[in-house]
Chains A and B, each alone.
Chain A
Amino acid sequence: MKIKQLIEKIEGEAELDFIFENGKVEDVQINFGFYRGIEDILVKKDPRDALVITPRVCGICNHAHLLAAVRALEEGYSHAGVEVNISSKANDIREFTLACELIQNHTKWFYMTILPQLEKLLKEQSGENHALKASFLSSKITKALAIFAGQWPHSSYAVPGGVTCDPTYVDVMQAQSLIEECIRFFEQMMTEMSFENYLAQSSLSSLHKIGGDFGRVLQLMGMNEMAQKGYSYDRFIVFGTCMFSKPGKSLATTVSNVDVRYVEESLQEGSVAKAVHYKQKFYEVGPLARAMVAKEPLIKSLHKRYKDSLLTRVFARVHEIALLLDYSKQLLHHLVLDEPSCTLPKAVELSDFEGVGVVEAARGSLIHKTSVKEGKIANYEIIVPTQWNLSNGSQTEKGIATKAMLGSTTTQEASFIFKAFDVCSVCTTQ
C-alpha cells in the first residue's frame, strides 16, 4: 500500500511516499519541491557577493551559510598565496554569533516542532502556546547575535580577514545579559534545574531529575518506547571545526579522521534535492553526530544504552542548547577587544582561486565550495546537512532518515521520526 503524506512547516514542505506493508513502514521516498537556483545565481558574480547571496538560501540558518561562504573565500585566498590569519577576537565573535544561531534554531525546533507534534501524536495536548516560548528565546538570542552582526536574519558581517564590527564593552555587557536571560529560560522553562546542575550531569541516573518542558518530553518519549525506535545506521560524521566540534566520523565506538574531498553528491530521481555520501556511505549529521565525534560524556552514555534512537537524537539536540549557552558565555567572558576585527582591511584582488568552507550549522555540516576564474565566480556548490540525513538512499542502502522510519507502525509516528532530524526544506532545495 502506498500512502502519500505532505509534511509542512519544515522550512517549506516535503512529500513522503510511504510503502506500508503488514502494518509497518517498508520504505519511504522523500521528495522536495521547487529548486530555487542559488548556485546558478552565484555564477559570474563577484566572489564576495556570496556573503550576501548565500545567507538567502535559508531564513533559519542564514548565518551558518554566511560563515561557510567566508571560510570558502579565506581558504581560497590562502591557496592562492594570500595568507589569511584572523585575530582571536574575530574568531571568537564568529563563534559566538554562530552559537547564537544554533540556540535559536534548536529552541524553535523543540517548541514549535517536537513538543506540539509529540503532544499531537500521543494525544496528550496541554493547550499551551509553545510558540510563545520559542519566540521569547529566539528574540533574545538573535538580539545578542545582532549586537555583533547588525541583524538576524541575513547579516553579512563576516568578511575575509575577520568581521566588520568593532564592538565596545558596552556591547559585550549587553550580550552577556542576554545570554544570562537565555540561561534563566533554560533553567526555569526547559529543565526546572539550575544550569550548573544540568551541566554537571554525567550519567543517566540523574536524568529523571530534569523537569520543565524538556523533562516532559523525555517522560512522554520514555513512556512510549521512543528509546527503542528510530534507529538508523549508528554512523555519524562531522566536517566543521567550530564551537566545540572537531571533524571526524564515528562508527560503533570508534572515531576516525575524515577528509572533505571524499564527499560526493548525486542526483535523485523525483526530487530536486541531491543525495550526499562519504565514500559511498550515508552518514548522520547534526547535534548527535557532533556529540558522538566529540565523545560528549552524557550523550555517549545515553547512546551506550539507547543507540541512535529517536530519544537519543532528540536529547542530543536539546542538550546542545545547554552546551552552546555555556560556550557563548565563556566566549564573551574572554573576549578581548584590543585586537583588530579584520586583518584584511582592503579588498584582495585575486583572479583565480578555489576554496572550501565548512561550518557546523544547526542541522550538521554545511559545505560551500567556490571556484573563481578571471575574478568572477565560475562555479559554486552548497552541500547542506539535510542532504546527508534525508537522502533517499542508493541501490545498496537506504538513506539515514528512511532507515530510521522503517518498521514504524503508523505514518504519523514515522513523520515524527522524520521531523526529529530537524528537516530544512529550503536549504535542501537551494
Chain B
Amino acid sequence: MAKPTLLWLQSITCNGNAHSFLNHPDLFSILSHFELVYHPVLETPYSLEVLNQKMLGCDILILEGSFKSKGVQKAGVEVLEVVEHYAKKAKHIITAGTCATFGGMFKAYDPENIAGFCYNEEEKTSRYENYASKLISLPGCPIHPKWLSYVLMMLSQKKSIPLDEMHRPQELYNITVHTGCSRNEYFEWKVDTKGFGLKEGCLFYEQGCQGPFTRGSCNKILWNDTSSKTIVGTPCFGCTEPSFPKTALFSTKTNMGIPANMPLGVPRRAYLTATGIAKSFKIKRFEERIIDYED
C-alpha cells in the first residue's frame, strides 16, 4: 500500500519547530511511514517552485508559522494561497507550534493581520469552518518533537486521537506543565525559591512560572529526552497557550500578594484554603539545601 504523503509548509516562522523535530532520536523511523514530499530543511524530491504549482499529493499537511492574508510570498507566490490549496486536499492538518496554531510570537508585530491558521489567539479564524473536521492543534514554542511523532504515528496507523475543544490531543494537553515538575513538593508546601539558580523551591510565587495553568506535557515527556524549563529553574512561560507571549515573563503577577492566575480549574477559595494550611507549617527539610557540596 502506498504510504501517506506528507508536506511540511512554512509561513512566518523562526524554523524552531522544524529543528525541534530534527532532534527526535527516532526521526527517520517515524518518517519511514510516510512519503515526505516537501520539508523546509530535509532534502525532498520537489523544490519550492514545483510545490507552488500545486500539483503535489498531500495526505498529511504540517503547518509551521503564523499567517498573513497577503504579503508573505515564497518564490513570488502568496504562501497562504499555496497552503490553502494543500489544506483542502489534505486528510489531516497539523498546526505545528504556537504560531501556526494561535498566531504566537510573530503575531505581535501586526496583531490585526497576523494569526494562526484556524485560531487567532482563542478566536476562530474565518478559515476554521473549512478545516475543522481535519484539524489537529499542536501548540508549543517550539513544538515538542515527541508530541508530533505521537500524532504522526497515530495517523499512520489510522487510530483516532481524542481531541479537546481546540483540537489539541487530550493525551498531551489535558495535563499541565506542572504535572511531573521536580519542584512539586515545594509547590505543595508553598515554599518559594530564594532566587534563580537553585534546585530548591517553587517558581510559581515570584519567578513568573505559568506551569500550573499551562496545558502541556513538558514535565511528563521531557525535552531532548532529559529535562525541562522548570527542572532547570527557568519559569514556564506558557508557550503552548493562545495568550503566548505575555509580558514581564520573569515575575509573577499578583493580587494582594496572591498569584493572579490560579492553577488550572482550581477555584481561588480552594487554593487559598490549601495555601493557608500548608503555610501554617514550617517544614525543615524544605528550608534546607538538598545537597551540601562544602567539605
Binding site for B on A (CB under 8 A): 6, 8-9, 11-13, 15, 33-34, 36-38, 40-41, 45-46, 48-49, 51-53, 56-60, 62, 90, 108, 112, 116, 129, 131-132, 134-135, 138-139, 142-143, 145-157, 159, 161-166, 168, 174, 337-338, 340-342, 344-347, 426
Contacts and interface: CB of A to CB of B under 8 A. Distances in A.
Contacts of A340: 197
Contacts of B294: 338
B196 A161 contact: yes
Nearest to B141: A154
7 contacts: A8-B48, A9-B40, A49-B249, A59-B20, A131-B43, A142-B224, A346-B195
A90 B48 CA distance: 43
A146 B109 contact: no
A33 B197 contact: no
A37 B110 contact: yes
Given A46-B249, A59-B19, A150-B232, A53 B105 contact: yes
Interface string B94-133: 0000000000011011100000000000000000000000
Contacts of A146: 223-224, 226-227
B197 A166 contact: yes
A189 to B, nearest CB: 15
Contact of A112 (B42, B198, B226): B42
A166 B23 contact: no
B265 to A, nearest CB: 26
A159 B74 contact: no
Contact of A145 (B16, B224, B291): B224
A390 B17 CA distance: 25
Contact of B23 (A13, A45, A132, A135): A135
B188 interface: no
Given A90-B197, A116-B43, A135-B22, 12 more contacts: A40-B109, A52-B249, A58-B16, A59-B142, A131-B43, A138-B23, A147-B227, A157-B229, A161-B196, A161-B197, A168-B199, A347-B250
Nearest to B208: A48
A346 B247 CA distance: 18
B256 interface: no
Contacts of A338: 293-294
Interface in B114-172: 141-142
Nearest to B110: A37
Interface stretch (B24-32, B53-61, B272-280): B24-32
Given A46-B247, A165-B232, A139 B16 contact: no
A11 B15 CA distance: 6
Contact of B73 (A33, A138, A155): A33
B142 A143 contact: no
A156 B237 contact: yes
B226 to A, nearest CB: 5
A164 B224 contact: no
Given A138-B22, A138-B23, A345-B195, A34 B248 contact: no
The listed residue with most A CB atoms (<10 A of its CB), out of B40, B74, B110, B223, is: B223
A8 B110 CA distance: 26
A152 B233 contact: no
Nearest to B109: A37
Contacts of B283: none
Contacts of B12: 34, 36
Please list the 7 inter-chain residue pairs (A to B) with the smallest Cβ-Cβ separation, ordered nearest first.
Answer: A345-B195, A341-B197, A342-B197, A59-B15, A37-B109, A59-B16, A151-B223
A186 B245 CA distance: 39
A9 to B, nearest CB: 6
Contact of B17 (A57, A58, A59): A59
B24 A139 contact: yes
Interface of B: 10, 12-20, 22-25, 27-28, 40-43, 47-49, 71-75, 105-106, 108-110, 141-142, 194-199, 218, 223-234, 237, 239, 245, 247-251, 291, 293-294
B14 A62 contact: yes
B234 A150 contact: yes
A48 B249 CA distance: 8
A58 B108 CA distance: 16
B248 A164 contact: no
Contact of A156 (B23, B71, B234): B234
Contact of B48 (A13, A51, A116, A165): A13
Nearest to A132: B28
A84 B232 CA distance: 21
B197 A56 contact: no
Contacts of A162: 196-197
A360 B292 CA distance: 35
Contacts of A347: 250-251
A126 B154 CA distance: 33
B16 A342 contact: no
Contacts of B225: 139, 143
A344 B194 CA distance: 11
A164 B142 contact: no
Contacts of A164: 196-197, 232-234
A153 B19 contact: yes
Given A37-B110, A112-B41, A151 B224 contact: yes
Contacts of B27: 132, 135, 139
B232 A149 contact: yes
B196 A342 contact: yes
Contact of A174 (B19, B198, B226): B226
Contacts of A46: 247-251
Nearest to B223: A151
Contacts of B74: 13, 33
B47 A8 contact: yes
A59 B14 contact: yes
B49 A6 contact: yes
Contacts of A174: 226
Contact of A9 (B22, B41, B199, B227): B41
B14 A165 contact: no
B194 to A, nearest CB: 6
